[in-house]
Structure 1
Amino acid sequence: MAKPPANHGKQWTPAEVKQLKQLAQENTPTRVIGLKLGRTEDAVRAKAGENNISLKPTNQSPYNRRKP
């Protein structure tokens, strides 16, 4: 079984939420955000959902809009 992350079970601090927002805006992958914050990928997704933070990449074209 994998070792739990450093912040497993701890409350999120306002500084961590702020860092989550910034990393999400920089299109950082969810797994990497989790590693940087010492959280699981599921915890990152849950906190992003609670705070209306979009984890979707912002610099990619939709599938049907690519120019040849």
Structure 2
Amino acid sequence: MAKKTAKKIGRREYTSSDVKLLRAHSKARTPVPKLSKLMKRSEGSLRQKARTIGIGLGHQR
């Protein structure tokens, strides 16, 4: 039997256009799951990046 190997996770850097898009969607209060599909990144990744650049993401209470 052949042993299955785990798929390697490829990391992508955030480009300046990615950050610009993230800021625009933050202002528009786009839901994170929708933004995740749009940008093809995980929700956790988006939340983490938003926190590092100091913006809110999703619904702000």
Q: Considering the TM-score relative to the shorter chain, is it more than 0.5?
A: yes
Q: Which residue of 2 aligns with 1:9?
A: 11
Which letter maps to 1:55? L
Q: Which residue of 1 aligns with 2:36?
A: 34
Q: Which residue of 1 aligns with 2:49?
A: 47
* RMSD of aligned alpha carbons: 1.9
Distance 1:11 1:25 in 2: 22
Distance 2:58 2:39 in 1: 18
Q: How many residues align?
A: 53
Which runs of no fewer than 5 residues in structure 1 stay unpaired? 1-7, 63-68
TM-score calculated relative to the size of structure 2: 0.75
